[in-house]
Structures are given as structure tokens and as C-alpha cells.
Structure 1
């Protein structure tokens, strides 16, 4: 506090000039010293930022408490998932009122797994254990000794006796791999440190596969751990030295092979490993030199007759060789290996026979293989759903028939026009597959769909709809708008930005508009697909309009929509968001004096950019774990993920045009002397994806150039990672904090 005023004084970080020079341009950064995470001076400064934020927003507390209470009340806290059958067990999770984390349970399964009736999940009730029910992993007990706890993933042997899991107790996403004997409930003495992500276990449970990251947090080494041996003896199977490739692993649908995918947003390479042979080596199928974006899914395809004999082992390849929206081809492992993958040859790889052709109006996302049919994920008119490719159709194409367009495939029908339908379980031999359905106004539903070779799919069987306490779902509406950008696409059509408007039924367009929050992301081809949010109801019930701007850089309208919002077209993401904001005002949805903006991670970069471009349009801005010092980060390949980002943003180290372009929109480097609205930057000390230092530096320069009286605050979780603090209650508190900040500055301040 100052002597003259009772208003809190923001902490002022000292200035320590640090210079960088690229392409003849020298930049002086006075706050780079805040990167010293282990410095007590830095930690003291961050604690001071939290104290300032708490003081400035103290009058938001009643609203925060009210919103948190609403989220907590509407959420069925003692809840459970739909049991999923794996071998001789039904697996499910329970959440208990008052507990932060889920507990993992199982109960024995009965009946022949080939009989569809044996896949009807047991009816379970909150708080009522089933006969034979066992808790095999209580996350609350595991988390109790730690300030932070997060699971990186689980894998089980087919027998159900052995569990492999990864845990993170700091928030930096460096995991410890552990093994548990589920027959005794005891952990095995062996463990593996510094694992990246979750483990993969081959069916027998004798071996587990895992990735290790390099100093830039890039997963680059694949190891095989043999149970019963020390970690020091783990076998190194593969090392990817290309700093622009990120590697992930997963089992084929029938669990016979491990698929190893190394890539980025523009191309990748695939290897395959026989997990039934402990001496096997990974084999390269398609090399990075092909510059193909693709995935590979093995499938055994027989002749479709009673006396068909042995099935042929094939590879289904989803790829962009035929066009940006992808196609599906079928070939064999032998055919790919015969083409000398990984050579310097410029000859395009022969991917075999095209099964699903490229289409301009449908984005084909990929497949899930089962022994009954192939499940296809595709996006039409921004909506991603599941479609069905029969094995008969696959055989016909393999025999020389015509390809089958994704737009002609059947699939389960739903009433709503805008929804999300995603595969959550498609076990290879199971007689059913499971999907999750949700929309902007419909809580998640779980459907089981029996395989039916005749019609493609039988009627979906509703297993569960997520309950919501004391909410009339009919009170909420979603509306789609299209904002013209004034541009023309390659096909001559007008470029328009889709906007989803969510509102209470009592709110409609008016001459003066309503308090509005505009949300956006727009990077990495990630689509803002329809999803239900309990917490969002607290805004809608207060008369606030929540609008999602589906800007370029996302994937809602296909691959070209993404490509038009990356690299040297990145500014389209920002102008699309401003165009969407303007249309919301023009159509009477948004009050121009009460419109706020909200985005996180790469969406935080979006927030920083639109703040510099048009601060007058917004009454408040929240940037969550924001990528606001993007040029500094991408210029340092030693930082986590930086080299991998070159395919998204361009490489400013080697390309002066990319350098100048990135510098022209970098939020940290384009702050100017204007009146900024209230700004909240929310971050976590241990975030390895967007380092805390970016928003910590950003808020300093915003305050220096602020020409108005609005506060600029930094809220930093000292024990969290990219997703914030661990535990559902802490997550709800963080959401309530953000929503209260936005609501307060929109003039909606009542609890």
C-alpha cells in the first residue's frame, strides 16, 4: 500500500537488461531474469504477485464462492463411470463427495465374451458396492502425501493381474512408472524414473514400453522394461534424434504390434514392432523424408466366406498424400518395407489401394479397427462423428472395386445439429463399440452400439447420461452465426468465421446487447467441438452470453482452415477473433461496453494479440497459461518443445521473414501506450508447456504501458502444471476465480 492511497501497489520487478540479436535485429529484454525458477528473488516476486492479485480481486470473493458453490452443487459428486469390460473384469471409476480424485474399481465379469448379452454392464449405484467389487487404485490415497498428484496413464495385462501406471507428484509432467500386483494390491519393488506420459503393456504383462524425454521435454527414446528386472537393464529400442519430431506409442487394435509415431503438425514417420517377440526391433514403414502426415492401423482381413482359411495381415493408412483432408489406403507391411523407407529417394511412397478418397467437404480424421467392421471418424460441416466401413466394402475395394467416399458411409443418427460423437472404446473382438455423445446443451451420454454387418450399426443403447443437479437443461440454447471476413477462399467462396452463441433462453439479441464472453483458441488444428460444461451454466444463468469463435488455425472446417491460421498466416487467427467480436455486437448479442475475451495456452497468445490490436473492444481479458512471449521461446531450441513448434509457427532462427512476422504479433513485444482493460494472466510454476516466465514478464510490460486505471494481475499456482492445480475441487476453484473476474468486470457482480 502507498501512504497516499489504500489501493494495492503492483509488484515491480527489477530491470536487468538482456540482449538478443537475430537477423540484424537487437532486442533488449529487461525481465528475462525472471526465468530463474530456483532463485529465491524470483519466487519472492511471484508470491508478491499472488498477494497483489488477491488484494485487487478481494471484492470478487463472494462471487467466486457463489460460482464454486453452484459448480459443486450441480455436479453429482458421488458418481461413477459406465463399467467397461476387459477380459474377465468390469472396470469403472467412482468419485466420492469430499474427495479430490477418482478411485478405480473392478468387479468380475460373467458370460461368454462373444455373446452380446455378456456386454451389458452391471448396474451400479453411487456409494453402494457391488458383490465382488475391488478398489484397485485409490487416487486420493496415492495423492495424500503430495501437494500435487497426477496420473500419466494406466495399462493392464490381459489377465487382469498386473497394472502399470505413471505418477507425477510435482506438476512438471516427468512421471515415475510403477507396477502393481492386483491380486495382492501391492506394488512391485521395481520402478522407472523420468518417464514421459503413460506406459504401454503387451498382453501377457511380461513387458512394458515407455518413452523418455530429452532436455527440451521431447519424447525421443523408446525403452522396453521386462518385469522382474531392474530399470538399469531396460532395453533401448529406438532413439529419435531429429529435434522436430515428437514420438508417441500405442498397441494395434489386436495388441499384436506396437505402433511408433514420430512427427509434428506437418509430417511424421511410422515404425512397427512385434510385441510377441522380446527380441524384435522396430521396423520403419514410412519415413519422415516422405513429408506425409499419416497414421497406420493393422487389420486381419479374411475372404469373408466360411472356409476362408487364414486372414491376410493388412495396413490401413490414413494420409494426406491425396489431399489435405486425408484419404484411406490399404497395403501390406511387406509392400512398404520393400520400398526402402528412410532412404533419400524423392520417389513418393506407394500406399496401395485407396479405400476412402479425399473430399473437399469432409475431413477424414482416422479409423478404429475391430474384427467386425472399421469405425471411421470424420468431420462434416464442423461436426465430428462416427461412420462405419464394413469389411465387405473393404474386401470389395481390395479386390479392385471403387473407393467409398466418407460422405456416403452410414453412422448412428442423432437429433441435434451440432454435437460431438467420439469413440471411447472399440475392442477388437467385442460385439459392441462405445461412443461418447455430447453437445453444447446436452451432458455427456455413453452409448453402446452393437456391430451389425447387415445395416452397419444397430440402434445405440444409452448406458448413461451424466447427471446434473437442479438444472433445467431446456433453459439453455445454442445458436450458430457466421462472420464474413471480407476474404475469398481458393474456390472463390466467401471466407466466414463460425461462431457458437450459448445463452439462457431468456436472453435474445437486443438493440443494446448483453454482457458477453468471447472464447477462442485457433492453433494446432484443434477444434472447439461442442461440449457440455456445468461451470459455464453459472455465466449463462447470470444473463451472460458465452460465444465460441471458431477461428482459423483450428480444425473445424478441415485442414485448409488450419493451414490458413498458422506460420505466415497466423494473424488470420487474431483478425478472425476480432471479426467475430464485431459481428456479435452488430447482431445485438454483445454489448460493446460489456464484452470480455478468454483463452488459454495458444489461446492465451490469441488474447495477448487482440489486446494489442484492439484493446478498446474488451471490458476484460483472461489469458490462461498464455503463450505470450512466443518469439523468445521459439528462438531458443533448448527450451521445452521449442524445436517442435517450428512446424506450427515457422523457424525464426533460420528464416528472417518468419522472425519479422512473429515479432510483428508477439504479445510481449507489441505492448503499446494505450488504455488496456482489466487483464488477468493465470499460470502455474511447474508448467513445462508454457513456462510461467512468459506471463510473469508480460504483466510487467503491460503495467508499464497502461494508460488507464484498470488492473493487470498475475495469478500463479505454485504447486501446479499446465492444467493448474491437481484435484477436481481445486480445478473448480480456479474456474470460479476466472469466471468471477470476467463477470465482475462485465458488471455482473451478484452472487
Structure 2
């Protein structure tokens, strides 16, 4: 269907993204700000200009995925990054918005990360090394040949990545170097883009800081001084070194500060406590704080920063497992919220037909593991329902309790859908993450098993009808729990699974291995890390036992999980398993870690996954929660995944 984002104001323009009917890719647009931005969903604004038509650009390409799309400060130019293989190596293009002419020779081998200088005459971007590590920051005068670019910063540590960003005010270009535990930032005045970068504070192992500016100061989100759930500190821009930092928002254990935005008159903090997000707003003029909260048991809340620094309007997006995305504009002065858009599910959707619960399972060591659960009101809670159980648990990434329309294809067939917020994420603060990494990584898997056991004991499902589903590091989770408790699972889905952890972490010539050591450990140099990884590594622990029906998905161009990892894991499973259950490996020959691009192509893959699950569990393919047994079976199609 047609769809469009809520227009975002910037200067004399509204910028937005829309999709045409049956369109696979986004169309980037703008319209004069003099026009009304209150139009029917999916309709163009009056006097619309199309800046970049994704459907047109994708024609004739076997793979098409956009990275950053960023208009210049003077609104004349559009820079965009394009990946044509799924390898996450992007080519940068710059076009004149009025003429559509490309005014810059393409820049290859970039990360897709780019920023404009204040005068719109200089482009900052990052490039990859031979191990696919973002390692260098460059600047280029617009129109010059790519080989004329000047190197701004090169990161010598093979375990660190670099990126380029701007502060919310657009006043400073930021050059960030980081691994999974340590960061360091340099800055350049965007109005003087050719000056040398200045260091804020040199890296100290285990210390992280993110940077925004506020008047004459930087405001830092940091874990300095043991503030593991982070605090805010202020430092003069003129003297930014560590000895000048002072605290303005104290560290509160268990209240994780996720991010912050510095507007001219307001500070916005994104926080999480008890596995629930909230937004806290500080009026800089009065010093008064207030929070935006919702009453649902489980929900997702995100902030859209926008382009304008002096605004009093904050845009945020709310959803819950049974509530499609709602976009609000919030007046930070009057504290009034205006609903700007409610996502429409084309096949129809009634939130009241679904039950959302926040549960907890007790892990073996006593930790209380949060669970987000959704099911149809007519699904009996008597242990008869199958359950799709999703998990990730790595890198401190928290699984949002957000709406996903595709899930209801299974939920309407009588499934319970659950998210296990296992250790390794930050749902319950930094300590939750720390207790699911390195030597504590086995907690991730035992937490997931505890959640499955709890759901069965509570009558939401039963052992043998639970389907673990995870991708990348979540695929590692799936592989580990298949080895440890194969009796629990009725089927399994492992999407681009990181399953040969030990061999990958032993081989520093592979893409991205050194940057991963702070997460998993370095088995080359640390005997304890070697033994810990070997104890849970899915590939190392395949054994002669029954395994459930399993679907494994890989991508030939994947730079993060090389395609041979899932392939060799599947081969070893086939050689050792003692059952006759199906074990399928689907390898995308023209895609990478993110799978196939495009709105409907992605739905087709979801349909494949759900069809496999339904077939493996012997379930009726026709929709309808806990429907009658005589319901006719029908093949699942892409359009039945909403």
C-alpha cells in the first residue's frame, strides 16, 4: 500500500519519505514549508519534489540497499550511499536536487556513513579496510576526484571502528572511535571543516562517552567514575579534557541512560528502567524535569531527533505488541501531544483482540528474566498453544517490545509470541549486559531455556511446541539451546547465525574478529576464554542426538557472519543428528547480513519462515486463532503475512 512518514521541517522545507502502491523501496521527497503537512496517509504534499526514487534506482540491479541519505545544509544537494551486493560496502553519490545531475564522481568502498559541512562544500565520510572494518575518516571538497580526499583520521587499533556524526545543533562534526567497551571522540567546527580535529578526552579502557553541544559546553553521556548505567556531564568546549568534566545528571543504578538530545531550550534524555523505556525532558530555562510515560505493560518508545535545534516540538514514536506505531508531536512547553500518524495494517487490525503481558522467569541463579508476550484473546491458556520465542542477548542491544504486523499471521493461527529479554542485552541496565558477555555468556542461553520452561509451566505453551527464533548473535543463541535442550523445541529458525564462534574468534584475519574480542573473549591469548567459548559454541557442541526441524538462512555477501559458518554447521548437524526431521539451509546468492531488500521481498522470506514453522508443527495453515479443526488447510502466501 501507499505510505508516508510524517513530514519533518527544516528551514523552508518539509522532508519526508513515502512508498508508492506496490513499491519496494522508499522515495525521498520534500515540499515547500508553506504547504500544509496534514495530508491523507501516503499522499504527496502539494508541490512535492522527488529527491531520490528508490524504485527507479533499483531497476536493473540484482541487489539494492540505501545507506545514509542526507541533504546539504543549503538544501541544494543530496548525498546518498548505495550498496549493490549486500556486502555493506557502499558507494557515495551526490546529486544536484534541481537538475538531478550527479556533480561528484562516485566514492567507493565506504561504510555508507557521511556528513556535510556547514557551507555544504565539504563532505566527510568513512572507508573500510581489507577486513571490512570502518577505519578511516576523510573529507573531500565537493566536485573533486575521490583520490583528492584528505585523510582526517586513521584508527590504528584493529579492534576499533570509526564513524562520523554531527551534534544535534549541527555545529560540530564528530569523529568517533570505539569498540564494544571504550570510546574516544574528536571534533571539528562545521563552519571550519578543514581545520585539524581536536580530541575531547583520550581513550581509557572501559570508559565510553557520547557528545552533544550546549552553548559554550559539551554535554557528555558517559560511564566515567564507575557510572555503569551512565550519567550526564558538562565540560567547556575550550578545555574539554577529563579533568574539567562535572556531573549534571547523576548516575542512578538500574536507570540506564540510553541517549540524549540538546535542543536550544530543552534537554531530552532517553532512559530505560525495569525493561521499559521513557523520555525525560528538562526545560533549560527553569531546570524543571518531566517525563513522557505510557501505561501499557510492555511497549516501545523512540525519539526522532529532527533537523531543527531551536524547536520546542519533540517527535516520538510509540508502539506496543498489540498497538501499531503511533507518531506524536509533543510540545515540550505546554506538554501536549498531538497524534500525527497511526500506522494502518492493510488487512485490518483490532488491538483489543490481543493480550499483552510482561512476565518474568526465574533463572537458575535467581535472576528474573523479563518476557514480553502477546496472544489472541481466544487462544486458550491451557498448554495447547505453540509458541514462537524470539531472543538475541548480545552487544547490550535491547529487544524492543514493539509492534510487528507479520507476527499476527502466526498469532491469528493460535500461536503465542514471546520475546525473552535475556542477559547480554541492556533491558535491565548495564549489569544485565555484563552478566551475558565474556565469561558470563552462558547466562544468555540458560536464561532463554528458563523462559521456555516458564512459559510451558504457566500454560502458555508446552514442551516440544516452542520454536526458538534468532538472527546473527541471536542465531548463536538458537544453536546453543538446540544443543543443550533439544527436547523443548518443536522447530527452530536460525537467521544468518553466528555459530562457529570459536574458530572465528581464533582467526584474526577474518572480517571483524578483533573488534569482537571484548564481547566474546580472545581465545587466542586467554585459556579461560577458549574454554568458555568452547563450552557453548553451537558448532563445537553438535552431538549424536535428535534435533527439531530447523531452517537456517545465510547470505553469500554477508561480511559479518561469513556464509560458510551456517553451511558447515548444517553439514555437521546432518552428519551427527539421529532424527529424520528436515534440516534446510537457504543461502541468498545476492544478499548479505540484512537479507533481501525491499518491502515485499522481506515479507516473502517471513512467509517462508512461517510456512516452515507451521509445517514442522503440523499446524493448519489457514488463519484464525484456535479455529475449528475442520478449517481447510491452505498454503501460506506473502500477502497473508500482512
TM-score higher than 0.5: yes
- Of 105, 110, 121, which aligns to 2:29? 105
- Of 83, 107, 132, which aligns to 1:217? 132
2:402 is the alignment partner of 1:534: no
Please list the CA deviations of residues 430-449 of structure 1 after superposition, one character each: whole Å capped at 9, or x if unmatched. Answer: 23121111111111111111
- Of 139, 142, 152, which aligns to 2:57? 142
Q: Partners of 2:475 and 2:170 in 1: how far apart? A: 39
1:315 maps to 219
Please list the CA deviations of residues 696-724 of structure 1 after superposition, one character each: whole Å capped at 9, or x if unmatched. Answer: 00000000011011011101111111111
1:525 maps to 396
1:357 maps to 250
Please list the CA deviations of residues 638-688 of structure 1 after superposition, one character each: whole Å capped at 9, or x if unmatched. Answer: 211111000100111111110111111111111000011111111111111
Report the CA distance between 1:283 and its aligned residue.
1.2
Q: Retained in 2: the 8 A contact 1:513–1:592? A: no
CA gap 1:278/1:189 in 2 versus in 1, 3 angstroms: closer
Q: Partners of 1:476 and 1:292 in 2: how far apart? A: 43
For the residue of structure 2 that corresponds to 1:443, the secondary structure is strand
Q: Retained in 2: the 8 A contact 1:478–1:502? A: yes
CA gap 1:221/1:708 in 2 versus in 1, 3 angstroms: same
**Using CA pairs below 8 Å that are at least 6 residues apart, which structure has the higher relative contact order?**
1
**Displacement over 6 Å in runs of 4+:** none
Q: Partners of 2:218 and 2:595 in 1: how far apart? A: 43
Report the CA distance between 1:477 and its aligned residue.
1.3
Please list the CA deviations of residues 220-252 of structure 1 after superposition, one character each: whole Å capped at 9, or x if unmatched. Answer: 100001112111111100000011111122111
Q: Retained in 2: the 8 A contact 1:383–1:418? A: yes
2:402 is the alignment partner of 1:506: no
2:151 is the alignment partner of 1:236: yes
For the residue of structure 2 that corresponds to 1:288, the secondary structure is coil
**What pairs with 1:30-49 in structure 2 (closer than 5 Å)?**
none
CA gap 1:381/1:351 in 2 versus in 1, 3 angstroms: farther
2:240 maps to 336
Q: Retained in 2: the 8 A contact 1:318–1:366? A: no
2:297 is the alignment partner of 1:417: yes
Please list the CA deviations of residues 276-301 of structure 1 after superposition, one character each: whole Å capped at 9, or x if unmatched. Answer: 1133111111212353111111111x
Report the CA distance between 1:203 and its aligned residue.
2.8
For these two proteins, the number of residue pairs brought into alignment is 620
Report the CA distance between 1:130 and its aligned residue.
3.5
Report the CA distance between 1:517 and its aligned residue.
1.3
For the residue of structure 1 that corresponds to 2:428, the secondary structure is coil
- Of 452, 457, 466, which aligns to 2:343? 466
Q: Partners of 1:413 and 1:571 in 2: how far apart? A: 34
Q: Retained in 1: the 8 A contact 2:104–2:144? A: no
Q: Retained in 2: the 8 A contact 1:517–1:547? A: yes
1:719 maps to 590
2:359 maps to 481
Q: Partners of 1:234 and 1:641 in 2: how far apart? A: 25
1:42 maps to none
Moved more, 430-439 or 530-539: 430-439
Report the CA distance between 1:129 and its aligned residue.
3.9
Report the CA distance between 1:199 and its aligned residue.
1.2
For the residue of structure 1 that corresponds to 2:603, the secondary structure is helix
1:327 maps to 231
- Of 263, 273, 292, which aligns to 1:370? 263
For the residue of structure 1 that corresponds to 2:410, the secondary structure is helix
Q: Retained in 1: the 8 A contact 2:137–2:163? A: no
Please list the CA deviations of residues 35-70 of structure 1 after superposition, one character each: whole Å capped at 9, or x if unmatched. Answer: xxxxxxxxxxxxxxxxxxxxxxxxxxxxxxxxxxxx
2:276 maps to 383
Q: Retained in 2: the 8 A contact 1:151–1:168? A: yes
1:96 maps to 20
Q: Quick check: which has more Rg, 1 or 2?
A: 1
For the residue of structure 1 that corresponds to 2:78, the secondary structure is strand
Runs (5+) with no aligned partner, structure 1: 1-76, 112-120, 301-311, 338-348, 395-403, 488-493
**What pairs with 1:13-162 in structure 2 (closer than 5 Å)?**
77-110=1-34, 122-125=37-40, 128-162=43-77
Q: Partners of 1:434 and 1:474 in 2: how far apart? A: 26
- Of 442, 445, 454, which aligns to 2:323? 442
Q: Partners of 2:396 and 2:279 in 1: how far apart? A: 19
TM-score w.r.t. length of structure 1: 0.81
- Of 513, 531, 536, which aligns to 1:642? 513
Q: Retained in 2: the 8 A contact 1:373–1:388? A: yes
CA gap 1:335/1:159 in 2 versus in 1, 3 angstroms: closer
Please list the CA deviations of residues 617-651 of structure 1 after superposition, one character each: whole Å capped at 9, or x if unmatched. Answer: 11111100000011111111221111100010011
Q: CA RMSD in A?
A: 1.6
Runs (5+) with no aligned partner, structure 2: 623-642
2:309 maps to 428
CA gap 1:127/1:314 in 2 versus in 1, 3 angstroms: closer
Q: Retained in 2: the 8 A contact 1:87–1:159? A: no
1:271 maps to 186
2:462 is the alignment partner of 1:594: no
Please list the CA deviations of residues 173-232 of structure 1 after superposition, one character each: whole Å capped at 9, or x if unmatched. Answer: 111111010011222242211111221112321011000011111111000011121111
Q: Partners of 1:518 and 1:90 in 2: how far apart? A: 41
Moved more, 317-326 or 472-481: 317-326
CA gap 1:209/1:582 in 2 versus in 1, 3 angstroms: same
Report the CA distance between 1:89 and its aligned residue.
0.9
Q: Partners of 2:270 and 2:65 in 1: how far apart? A: 29
**What pairs with 1:172-251 in structure 2 (closer than 5 Å)?**
172-251=87-166
Q: Partners of 1:485 and 1:431 in 2: how far apart? A: 45
Q: Partners of 1:640 and 1:143 in 2: how far apart? A: 28
- Of 497, 501, 511, which aligns to 2:369? 497
Moved more, 590-599 or 123-132: 123-132
Q: Retained in 2: the 8 A contact 1:629–1:668? A: yes
Q: Partners of 1:662 and 1:393 in 2: how far apart? A: 52
CA gap 1:442/1:264 in 2 versus in 1, 3 angstroms: same
Report the CA distance between 1:483 and its aligned residue.
0.9
Q: Retained in 2: the 8 A contact 1:625–1:682? A: yes
Report the CA distance between 1:588 and its aligned residue.
0.6
CA gap 1:322/1:657 in 2 versus in 1, 3 angstroms: closer
TM-score w.r.t. length of structure 2: 0.94
Q: Partners of 1:168 and 1:208 in 2: how far apart? A: 19
1:550 maps to 421
Q: Retained in 1: the 8 A contact 2:496–2:566? A: yes
Q: Partners of 2:221 and 2:341 in 1: how far apart? A: 34
CA gap 1:109/1:693 in 2 versus in 1, 3 angstroms: same
CA gap 1:351/1:549 in 2 versus in 1, 3 angstroms: farther
Report the CA distance between 1:507 and its aligned residue.
1.6
CA gap 1:620/1:590 in 2 versus in 1, 3 angstroms: same
Q: Retained in 2: the 8 A contact 1:208–1:225? A: yes
